[in-house]
Structure 1
């Protein structure tokens, strides 16, 4: 029975001294057909443990609708980890950060305008309790106390960077224990936040990527006894749209890992394998300027987005071998990749004209948020887009004012593009001319990812507040949630000779003899989303840095495959390429 104990000296497993050498591997960022492969490569690196968050918002996208199958089959993931001989650190939140949509908090919480997230607000605690009551019975058979691989469970996540509320943390600890968690609990915080984020009786761990001696000393000062552990050793970083691709030299990361292990500390690599923010799951940061995160979560990890060893893999394996047994097996070889150029997308379906096939319009005197549409009206899931429409009856010049666009609004007058308002650029106003006889005003708003860090996690989406035309509030709105989780209702037609005006879906097919990983190259396209065989690959944007989207080979099939792109603006070519190499963009010199 692999039962983890904590004493004054450190960790003990089944009575023997034990050092955790772990790596973060998020099951929800990896196609489930690839879980076993990634876990095997974790073991080959020399890891004895893997670490995963649990995204509440995926498991319970609507209040009371809990799911844990397919790509969310956490029990299967834990079973595979055990079969590979790996232990598990489980991090169920309720908040996970992770550069994930809303930090993992479900959007329906924000349907209540005064909801206080990550607090003792009774409504929030009741929702958390309901989530844990559904999740933990699935996990309980896998606790180490019952012969399973889960050694410890995290309490919240970097709470010290958010607030100073010990009653909230203690209440969460009570909930976890009440729902059957009988393995050790731990918290994790950046060293400066340890006092605010930790609670008595729960192991404190620290998160950092450098200044190892200094940060371990701060952890020891805060916690004089017990194991030293870096719960997130940042061996890489994430990227945002419009920025450079983050990069860290393998030698630098390996040297700091060596210092950490030489000090006798336990470690969790963040990340061992980053994976992908498939669909609409990427988060955002907002430190006075909103910055959405890209689709790839490669993170400069030892195992890259396609599960191939990066240069850091061999460097880390060499370091780990100095302190722990490493399997006497060769390094994993890169997997075969697929390349196919000039995949045609000859069929189109305009979004504005076929919006009714994608969602139901709800009438109100003001624009409704995505959270209101999902929680109050049962429309959508809080992700994707929302289409707002009303009539402009008076011809002539109009100054449209939308004080709070969340996050990017494309404005159309009579179906013709009139401009774009971006939250990231702090844009609120747009001028255009309404033709004689009036026109339909359509505003397509994209949720580019809810903020995942800091007080801005209270991040509602859509058009917030009154929208005015020449100073007068517009009324008579319809609000239509477009989650784009089912495209089967679209009626595609053969593309005409001219360019498409306005957002449109482009569909094509390609044949594959033997499915393999590949990368969707959207050079020449502007901004949008992509699906292969109905599987949502994520967002693309010519703003970069990412120029190609990872396509898991397990999402393809032998024979005919379908590819759909939603292009929000325009493309200069009717084709895309499938490449055998990634392109995450230029790095900062």
Structure 2
């Protein structure tokens, strides 16, 4: 805060207001919290306008005395709250739509959300006509690189896709849309001077398709990533004794124990657990599937559960419940299993630094999953933005040396994570709606580059590049 204070407007800086909280009304667990934050800001030298920001459902609960309440909305109907409720509770105060939602985010397995540009223009016009200030959320679409995507959990858990394009005014790659053109013309009408021409969009490239050659099964990786954590009972991700006692924040976690009988396996798995007997996958456990049948086995065998943290809830009452991995005991025929070996698979850069060249082998005819796939490629010129596509639109010729177009599409990659030059680009999943991942040019090198794919279930044969994003409904000009 000491760095912020001198940048306030009254001290000659650019900061004209400070937001006390964001949509706390959706949570509203502690009536003393908001006044405490307000006082904490003031005690530390904040003297500019203080404000809160809530949608229509949390507006009343998110307010605090002496702080300007602002509203988040998307429709003209919601705009009526600004002219009625807000005026009734705080009198004649400046009006502010803190978040005008120009689109919406997507969830895995759901539709790609699009908001028509004509509707956006009509609502923005109505907001300005109401005498309100406005902030466009989002103006520039973004990307949930790595594992940082959020999630929602109301009737059911839904995790956000990697793209946060949001159908925003500018795409996640910074390209113009019809919304941009219409809003530029609208806001430009308030200026006496002509607007300067907008910058040219950055070029996009379609690089040659890549065929992965090298491979490492997850089960082989376990032998050189360090000793597992031994525990009598499962430990959730956040409580693992790793990272100097701070636990594991993101990624995957693998639980191993020995069983000697068949039956019903049950437990609370967050968010998605793939269940294995030795190295054979027998199904998944998640929010909906809390039990799975263990088939008849002879002797003893390894029971393994690979659990993915698909993203933490970032809105609403379930914020308090965000623990990942196996929560509590894991039961076989209602008896708790014991003596676990637990591997922290956070997949940071340090994780991959243990993958020495001699560890990789050529991809077998029948790979064992989950697995890592590696390929290198060379860029001869200055790298440009591109998009990765893992659904194969090609058929492999006999020599694997070239690609030919075909009406037949090979079944592609199913679910996993892509790492480019050591950085986590994000997740992919063939349930959609997102089909491509935005790869910024600055992530690439002129010269040698490498891609590692962690695939959970089934690999495709090709990694494609395209200069066009496919997010579900490819409709940027509308």
TM over 0.5: yes
Q: Are residue 296 (structure 1) and residue 163 (structure 2) matched?
A: yes
**Residue number among 235, 246, 249 corresponding to 2:116 in the alignment:** 249
1:192 and 1:450, CA in 2 relative to 1: closer, same or farther beyond 3 A?
A: closer
Asked if 2 retains the 8 angstrom alpha-carbon contact of 1:188 and 1:207, the reply is yes
How do 1:135-534 residues align onto structure 2 when only pairs under 5 Å count?
136-163=1-28, 165-211=30-76, 213-217=79-83, 218-324=85-191, 328-355=195-222, 357-358=224-225, 360-373=227-240, 378=245, 381-392=248-259, 394-395=260-261, 397-402=262-267, 404-423=268-287, 426-433=288-295, 435-458=297-320, 459-486=322-349, 487-491=352-356, 492-512=359-379, 513-523=381-391, 524-534=412-422
SS at match of 1:176: helix
1:314: Cα distance to partner? 0.7
Give the structure with higher Rg (CA). Answer: 2
Contact 2:141 2:173 (C-alpha < 8 Å) held by counterparts: no
The residue that corresponds to 2:471 in the other structure is 584
For 2:139 and 2:36, how far apart are their aligned partners in 1?
A: 31
The Cα RMSD (Å) is 2.0
Map of 1:544 onto structure 2:
432
Compare 271-280 and 190-199 and name the one that shifted more: 190-199
Aligned residues: 447
- 5+ residue gaps, structure 2: 392-411
Residues in 2 aligned to 1:420 and 1:428: alpha-carbon distance in whole angstroms: 9
SS at match of 1:502: coil
d(CA) in 1 for partners of 2:319 and 2:466? 37
CA separation in 2, counterparts of 1:321 and 1:406?
49
Output one character per residue of 1:355-379: Cα deviation in whole Å (capped at 9) or x when no partner: 3544652211111011101679737
In structure 1, stretches of 5+ residues that fail to align are 1-135
* Moved >6 Å (runs of 4+): none
Write the distance in 1 (CA, Å) between the matches of 2:43 and 2:219: 50
Equivalent residues of 1:525, 1:570 under 8 A apart: yes
Greater share of helix residues, 1 or 2?
1
Which digits, 9 at most, give the CA deviation of each residue in 1:384-407, with x for residues without a partner?
111111111x25x332112x1100
TM-score by length of 2: 0.89
1:288 alignment partner, SS class:
coil
What is aligned with 1:38? none
- 1:478-503 Cα offsets, whole Å, 9 max, x none, are 22221111211124423233121221
Distance across 1 between alignment mates of 2:229 and 2:192: 61
- C-alpha contact (below 8 Å) 2:256/2:304 kept by paired residues: yes
Counterpart for residue 401 of structure 2:
none
Residue 12 of structure 1 corresponds to which residue in structure 2? none
Post-superposition Cα deviations, 1:198-236, rounded to whole Å, max 9, x if no partner, equal 111111101111126413213222321221000000110
Structure 1 residues 348 and 327, CA gap change in structure 2 (3 angstroms) = farther
Secondary structure in 1 aligned to 2:341? strand
1:526-582 residue CA offsets vs partner (Å, 9 max, x unmatched)? 000011111211100001000000001111111111111100111131x20111010
8 Å CA contact 2:211, 2:375 repeated in 1: yes
If the length of structure 1 is used for normalisation, what is the TM-score? 0.73
